[in-house]
Amino acid sequence: MEHRIVGPGPYRATRLWNETVELFRTKMPLRKHRCRFKSYERCFTAAEAVDWLHELLRRSQNFGPEVTRKQTVQLLKKFLKNHVIEDIKGKWGQEDFEDNRHLYRFPPSSPLRPYPKRPPYQKDVIKFPEWDDPLPGTSQENIPVRPVVMNSEMWYKRHSIAIGEVPACRLVHRRQLTEANVEELWKTMTLSYLQKILGLDSLEEVLNVNLVNSKFIIHNVYSVSNQGVVILDDKSKELPHWVLSAMKCLANWPNCSDLKQPMYLGFEKDVFKTIADYYGHLKEPLLTFHLFDAFVSVLGLLQKEKMAIEAFQVCCLLLPPENRRKLQLLMRMMARICLNKEMPPLCDGFGTRTLMVQTFSHCILCSKDEVDLDDLLAARLVTFLMDNYQEILKVPLALQTSIEERVAHLRRVQFQKSYPEVYQERFPTPESEALLFPEKPKAKPQLLMWALKNPFQPFQRTRSFRM
């Protein structure tokens, strides 16, 4: 019973569904069962299916050991709805599957899901201006020229240009490196960096690059506090004060310095429910709908932890600043609650860590369209985020350095072409340095005593060449 690792790439959720269905149909043990004085061949009970599939999912590196039995039942309900299984009488199409002794079987054929066809995204790239590009509304014909008195010298110059001996002069418009150029550079290099980590030929099937906002990337890199949390310019997009106070209360439990109300038995459960209700009613998940495929694709790299963290760092830079801030505060609270040994149980049926994952996974990652594995994928991602949130929500230093160096290089080239003489004085070339600072003659090395064959042998006069 092995689950093949499904790596990053387009349609990873669909590939995972097909892989799980194939394993379930081919490996699930079937045997003879009796129900109401009648025997049925090659079938299984609902409880047997839950036991077997739960073990498969927990041992799979695509889902991990955090998968609960309740999630397995939810997946089998979707199997029944999509006719992966049917009851012993051939009924299917509804999610009325329960963990009991009811008998089920496989239909004769269970078609796998086809991969969705998406229109190719048109990438709108801002072109960097060339040095000889004319400004809008200008042309060579409309350049104002002073009247010139024709004489023999001017006639000779014009004649030389006409016959091709001297090239004609053209007006060159030198432009500045605009803010739009810098923003497009940040966007292009960030997406290229993500594509390289994922090892894909293109990001078209994983991400709509037209929806990537370069201003979000720059804001998430530079507008941060000393703790690395994003600072918002628009304060109306901040977390409500009562939600932020509730999160601080649980994150610092039992030292709630901001708390002005008296605590009572079960107070921490009510505070937790308040936070869960707020995040559960968000209109869009924190990782946004259009980035769902990108984050699911990165989940295929979890076997290479360092590479997965780096890919998640880049994906989180693409988030709107308000989403990134909410995610940072939420993950910090979840991690502190899980590590706090003084925190009372917040739920009788689940452990604290499992409760955190089950409560907030849907508000962090979910798909706009129906994806049957989104609950399991979201739980897998949130588990990894909790364990590595400090690294994942950092700005990738290598990416930031490479982009800043590229921007500095382009500005230096712009300055060089605009002011060549000043540039030569400030940034001399090796040739100009050689003229200003000529190389000094090298001193001959002194003769060392131990360089002689016999340094202490007395001098002997050799034979003279004179006859």
Identify the band that residue 330 occupies on the pLDDT scale cut at 50, 70 and 90. Answer: very high
Q: Specify whether the CB–CB gap between 66 and 384 falls below 8 A.
A: no
**Rounded to two decimals, what is the model's pTM?**
0.76
Looking at residue 348, its pLDDT comes to 81
Question: Averaging pLDDT over each range in 33-42, 399-408, 436-445, which range is the top one?
Answer: 399-408
For 199-205, the CB contacts below 8 A with 24+ separation are: 199/8, 200/8, 200/9, 203/294, 204/120, 204/121, 205/9, 205/10, 205/11, 205/118, 205/293
Residues of the chain with pLDDT > 70, as a percent, come to 74
Of 23-37, 394-408, 438-452, the poorest mean pLDDT is in 438-452
Q: What is the mean pLDDT of residues 422-449?
A: 62
- Provide the pairing of β-strand 31-34 with 39-45: antiparallel
Q: Specify whether the CB–CB gap between 295 and 258 falls below 8 A.
A: no
Given a cut of 90, is residue 258 above it in pLDDT?
no
Of 86-95, 112-121, 253-262, the poorest mean pLDDT is in 112-121
Residue found under tokens 């008998």: 103
Residues 6 or more apart whose Cβ sits within 8 Å of residue 296: 12, 13, 365, 377, 381
Looking at residue 93, its pLDDT comes to 84
Rounded to the nearest 5°, which phi and psi values hold at 423?
Answer: -65, -40
Residue found under tokens 């507008």: 223
Identify the band that residue 118 occupies on the pLDDT scale cut at 50, 70 and 90. Answer: low
Strand segments, DSSP code E, in 363-437 are none
Which amino acid belongs to residue 196? K
Looking at residue 257, its pLDDT comes to 59
Q: How far apart are the first and last CA of the chain?
A: 103
Identify the band that residue 89 occupies on the pLDDT scale cut at 50, 70 and 90. Answer: confident
For the four alpha carbons of 228, 199, 127 and 176, in that order, the dihedral sign comes to positive
Query: Whole-angstrom Cα distance, residue 370 to residue 81?
Result: 13
For the four alpha carbons of 285, 290, 291 and 296, in that order, the dihedral sign comes to positive
Q: What is the dihedral of CA 322, 328, 330, 334, to 10 degrees?
A: 170
For 216-249, the pLDDT digits (tens) are 999 999 999 998 999 999 999 999 999 999 999 9
Query: Whole-angstrom Cα distance, residue 450 to residue 454?
Result: 8
Q: Specify whether the CB–CB gap between 50 and 99 falls below 8 A.
A: yes
Query: Whole-angstrom Cα distance, residue 282 to residue 329?
Result: 15
Secondary structure element (H or E) that encloses residue 105, with its range: strand 103-105
By CB neighbour count within 10 A (0-12 exposed, 13-18 middle, 19+ buried), where does 154 fall? Answer: exposed
Please state, as a whole number, how many other Cβ atoms lie within 10 Å of the Cβ of residue 48. 18
Looking at residue 129, its pLDDT comes to 46
Q: What is the mean pLDDT of residues 162-183?
A: 64
Question: Averaging pLDDT over each range in 142-151, 176-185, 220-229, which range is the top one?
Answer: 220-229
Q: Specify whether the CB–CB gap between 326 and 400 falls below 8 A.
A: no
3-class state of residue 272 by DSSP: helix
Q: 68: which 2 tokens?
A: 């609960």
3-class state of residue 43 by DSSP: strand
Query: Whole-angstrom Cα distance, residue 53 to residue 85?
Result: 13
Mean pLDDT (the chain) is 81
Which amino acid belongs to residue 297? S
